Homo-oligomer: A and B are copies of this chain.
Amino acid sequence: MEYRHLELLREFADRGSVTAVAEATYRTPSAVSQQLKTAQREAGMALVEPAGRGLRLTGAGRLLAEGGADLATALARVEARWDAFRGEPTGVVRIAALPSAATFLMPPVLRGLGGTGIEVEVSDYDVAEAEYADLAADNDIVVAHSLTSVRPAGTRGESVVPLAREPLDVAMNAAHELAGRDHLTPADVAGCAWIGVPVGYPFDTVLESVSAETGADLDIRQRIRDNRLIEALVADSDLVAILPRFTTPTGGGLVLRELRGASSVRHVSAVMRPDRAERLSVRTVLEALRASAADTERRHEAGPPA
């Protein structure tokens, strides 16, 4: 039972095809195929089976793939101890982040880690909740969010660390008739004209929650993804929208009002493959992310800004 082969199976479990594994490990598909073959010869049974024009793991293959993940985690733990022994953690930490969370999380992190041996590479992705797990294969830390629980959908083998709990407020023009209120209820906003997000996007569940609370059918005029565009439209109309509290700039004609009585909070979490989570540099960055998140929450704890 060789480490090499277990690692290969683990990679296959994460990526699902010989070609994908080959690209991820900088080899040709032929090399991967040959390794897979020798792994099966040593195992004495089939670890993959044909499925369509590709392959998928057999039960035996899945078992060994899980073992590969355990081993990778153990190895990463050793490397973390080694890094700690040598002094400073170093290396590149790749972060894939949801833009609306990265906006408030990343600046202090990058500032705080400047001058250390850690290089942080941030890329931003705005994808459906279920795709965050895939991003974890190519990035050390994935900053994701979920409206229903701390753990985003589709993350099973990954480590999940909660970072922030961010209220989702109702955004409106400062001249809007509801702008005078301290906070709002579902009944208050059920009759409004809305800007929503495309169906299936997380924020949509807030509007669904409002709808469920009041029994009303909401009047959704637009379905838009980009928050900046939504802000611009809201500031210049009587439309209202759901926007995250920490990153929405108020003033300039835009106000946020807390929505009580409907589930209107998102959980921002870090999602990582367990082995990557063990790395000292990753843990250092993660700690910075948590600190940044806690700081942001503290600055907003008084409620939405006027």
A residues near B (Cβ < 8 Å) are: 1, 3, 6, 43-45, 60, 63-64, 67-68, 70-71, 74-75, 77-79, 81-82, 85-86
Q: Please tell me if the beta carbons of B82 and A64 are within 8 angstroms of each other in the complex.
A: yes
**A82 close to B3 (CB less than 8 A):** no
Query: Are B60 and A85 in contact, with the CB atoms below 8 A?
Result: yes
- A1 adjacent to B63 (CB under 8 Å): no
A78, closest chain B residue (CB): B67
Establish whether residues A63 and B81, one from each chain, have CB atoms under 8 Å apart when the complex forms: yes
Q: Kindly list chain B residues whose C-beta atoms are within 8 Å of the C-beta of A1.
A: 75, 78-79, 82
The answer to whether A82 and B63 touch (CB under 8 A), given A1-B75, A75-B3, is: yes
B3, B70, B85: which contacts A3 (Cβ < 8 A)?
Answer: B3
Can you sample 18 A-B contacts with CB below 8 Å? A1-B78, A1-B79, A1-B82, A3-B3, A6-B78, A44-B86, A45-B86, A60-B85, A63-B82, A63-B85, A64-B78, A64-B82, A67-B77, A67-B78, A67-B81, A70-B77, A70-B78, A71-B75
A64 to B6, CA, bound (A): 21
Q: How far is the CB of A177 from chain B (nearest CB, A)?
A: 63
Query: In whole Å, how far is A82's beta carbon from the nearest beta carbon of chain B?
Result: 7
The list of the 9 closest CB pairs from A to B, nearest first, reads A67-B78, A74-B74, A3-B3, A1-B79, A71-B74, A63-B85, A70-B74, A71-B75, A70-B78
> Closest approach, in angstroms, between the C-beta of A32 and any C-beta of chain B?
19
CA distance A64 to B79 in the complex (A): 9
> Can you name 11 extra interface pairs (CB under 8 A) apart from A45-B86, A64-B78, A67-B81?
A1-B75, A1-B78, A3-B75, A43-B82, A44-B86, A63-B85, A67-B77, A67-B82, A70-B77, A71-B71, A71-B78
> With a CB–CB cut-off of 8 A, which chain B residues contact A60?
85
Chain B nearest CB: distance from A301 CB in Å? 42
Name the B residues within 8 Å of A67 (CB-CB).
77-78, 81-82
> Which of A45, A60, A68, A78 is packed against the most chain B CB atoms within 10 Å?
A78
Residue in chain B with minimal CB distance to A72: B74
A99–B86 CA distance with the chains assembled, in angstroms? 47
- The complex places the Cα of A6 from the Cα of B76 at a distance, in Å, of 13
Set of chain B residues within 8 Å of A82, measured between Cβ atoms: 1, 43, 63-64, 67
